[in-house]
Chain A
Amino acid sequence: MMPGPGPGPHPDPEPGFADILRMNLGAVLARARVRVVASWRETSWVIGETVFPFLTMAAFVLVYRGLHAPPMYEAFVVLGGAMIAYWNNVLWSMASQFFWEKEQGQLQLYLITPVSRMSILFGMALGGMAMTTSRAIAILGGGSLLFHVPIPLDRAVPAFGLFLLTLAAVYALGMILSSLFLLWGREAWHTATLFQEPIYLASGFYFPVRELGPLAGSLAALLPITLGLDGIRQILYGKAAHGFVPLAWIPPIQVALLVLFLYLAHRALATMERLGKQEGRLTLRGA
């Protein structure tokens, strides 16, 4: 069989915007579903990601209780315990996902699809949020009931709004990390391990971030989770929350961080993919 003549203008029409949007939305939901299904079919996470963090949270609650600190501090700890689940998910699951896919040899299966890489990242983020929410609810509910922590439900709606905005910014940061991990896998992993405990401290999961002082507090507030937690505490407990950043500033800053992180994630992903294609580091198999 002889080949035909050389390439010419392709006769197929380009897919329209609606087709592309439908395909990418489908990809987001399909990739998110993997994470949700995984969390319900593999329940061993209940021990590692709910029971153990709950024990850490309980230790802090008991410390504050032993020091006769105001009950508000116990509420800080329970809220922080719930939020730390998201941070752990971003740092250890979301960030390393592309690297892990590469190690498994199936990153290439995503990269040869016509959907945007950002859709795959959005799907990972959406699924990560969904699977982690069940853990966060378990920690928040368990902590509230066990330690009789006061959570004013009349302010729950604005607090929930800021919580959603915070999650969006946190997972956008996770999308950047995922792109960086893609090529710098082990090095990025080691760096994340190195910074894990300092970031736990700086994020004020178990105390008001104001106690870090203006300089360290300002640096810590660059992390959307620190900022969001500070704001949620202020919404729920007012001045007693010892807020660091004025509450009115927090939503616009979170929106700015969200936009910035999404832009950087997009750029980082494109750059990492280009570098990977130039250096042959997107796949594992040889020549």
Chain B
Amino acid sequence: MTQAAVRTVGLTRLFRSRRIQQAVEALRDVDLTIGRGECFGLLGPNGAGKSTLIKILTTLLLPTSGSATVAGYDVASQPLQVRRKINLVSGGDSSGYGILTVRETLHLFARFYGVPGDEARRRANALMEMTRLSGKADARLSSLSTGMKQKLNFARGFMSDPEIIFLDEPTLGLDVEAARDIRSFIAGWVRERPERTVLLTTHYMVEADELCGRVAFIDRGRILALDSPRALKRLVPSEPVFELQVGAGASGLERLREIGGVRSLAHHTHPGSGAIELRVIVDEDQTIGEVLGRLKAFGHPVLHLTKTEPSLETVFIHVVGRGLSDDEEPVEAAPVER
């Protein structure tokens, strides 16, 4: 039977703040369904409720109201069953004890999930290789750099071979190469078996765009938008923008403005190659066909054509009213159907 990996219904979590003497709403009526086999992204600024949601789903926190199931089990009443299916990696955290080696740390956490010794050795070797920690297998944690500790923490999360893994900012603070390795591992891992599911929170929009089949924008405890990155990008009202590179021809480029539907045109000639770069904004996609026809007629061979799309970051700002790293109050956000 196919079932949702994660499902929340009306999930709400309040925190009592002693400082301001009132309840703070960390999550409000969150309805969310994540299918098995999905890599699902949760995007939101600091304090949006991402970590609160992950804590509830990983049985570290109880909801104030509403319900949540993970792998079909209720997080409040069946936490043990949930824990057998999940693991958690929080970026920026390190795991283990400075006195233990990298290999010993991975084996320690494998033991807590009942992974047999031989299998633990095999997984530890594979994960150390993936995170490029094989050379440090017998080094104590106290001697590792922050980045290495973080990679070890990432490897630790996969030692139990969970069905559902919660990755809370897994590449935070990692160098570009390490982050790329980890993204590549996540993409491969989730594809390897159909029941494997990833819930990823990240500040890096490109990461979510690259990895996630669907993403949700969360702010002030509410899910504001939820869809595939491509569909979300369509939420931003914008004209199609095409970037072209064409070879030198009989000129006449300015006459492209006469085509009905061309709203804007910019061009400049590359000083080295003599190729011309064009940026054309049109009313609708079909107009680019006429542009290409005119270019051919003017003797400009088309070398390269790209349609640029709004980035997830642009969409996020449009929906939420502020960027991921902004601390200021949001401007009025656009209402979004979901």
Contact = CB atoms under 8 A, between A and B. Distances in A.
B35 A2 contact: yes
A111 B3 contact: no
Contacts of B38: 1, 3
Contact of A8 (B48, B55, B72): B72
B62 A278 contact: yes
B35 A105 contact: no
Interface string A8-33: 11110011000100110011011101
Contacts of A112: 58-60, 83, 86-88
A244 to B, nearest CB: 41
Contacts of A7: 3-4, 7, 69, 72-73
Contact of A37 (B48, B72, B87, B104): B104
A283 interface: yes
Given A10-B71, A11-B1, A106-B96, 13 more contacts: A1-B37, A7-B69, A15-B114, A22-B114, A26-B111, A106-B94, A115-B113, A277-B60, A278-B62, A283-B61, A285-B51, A286-B47, A287-B221
Contacts of A31: 108
Nearest to B107: A30
Given A10-B73, A114-B83, A19 B96 contact: no
B297 to A, nearest CB: 44
Interface residues of B, number: 61
Contacts of A41: 99, 140
A287 B99 contact: no
B238 interface: no
Given A3-B33, A10-B81, A110 B112 contact: yes
B114 A23 contact: yes
A109 B88 contact: yes
Interface of A: 1-11, 14-15, 19, 22-23, 26-27, 29-31, 33-34, 37-38, 41-42, 105-106, 108-115, 277-280, 282-283, 285-287
Interface string B28-40: 0000011111100
Contacts of A4: 2-4, 35-36
A105 B113 contact: no
A29 B86 contact: no
Interface in B108-143: 108-109, 111-114, 140
A30 B109 CA distance: 8
5 contacts: A1-B38, A27-B111, A30-B112, A37-B104, A287-B15
Interface of B: 1-5, 7, 15-16, 26, 33-38, 46-52, 55, 58-62, 69, 71-73, 80-81, 83-84, 86-88, 90, 93-97, 99-100, 104, 107-109, 111-114, 140, 156, 213-214, 221, 228
Max chain B C-beta neighbours (<10 A), residue from A9, A27, A31, A113: A113
Contact of B93 (A19, A105, A110): A105
Contacts of B7: 6-7
A6 B3 contact: yes
Nearest to A111: B60
Contacts of A37: 99-100, 104
A5 B109 contact: no
A17 B55 CA distance: 28
A11 B85 CA distance: 13
Contacts of B99: 34, 37-38, 41-42
Contacts of A38: 97, 99
A37 B83 CA distance: 28
Contacts of A6: 3-4, 7, 33
A3 B35 contact: yes
A124 B61 CA distance: 24
Given A1-B214, A282-B61, A23 B113 contact: yes
B100 A280 contact: no
Contact of B50 (A14, A111, A114, A287): A287
Given A5-B4, A10-B81, A287-B49, A109 B60 contact: no
A109 B166 CA distance: 12
B144 to A, nearest CB: 15
Contacts of B113: 23, 113-115
B44 to A, nearest CB: 10
Given A6-B3, A8-B3, A283 B60 contact: yes
A202 B254 CA distance: 98
B195 to A, nearest CB: 10
A105 B108 CA distance: 17
B55 A283 contact: yes
A114 B36 contact: no
A287 B111 contact: no
B1 A108 contact: no
Nearest to A42: B99
Contact of A10 (B34, B72, B100): B72
A91 to B, nearest CB: 21
Contacts of B2: 4-5
Nearest to B52: A287
A127 to B, nearest CB: 11
B198 to A, nearest CB: 12
A9 B33 contact: no
Given A9-B1, A114-B83, A277 B61 contact: yes
A7 B75 CA distance: 13
A33 B140 CA distance: 15
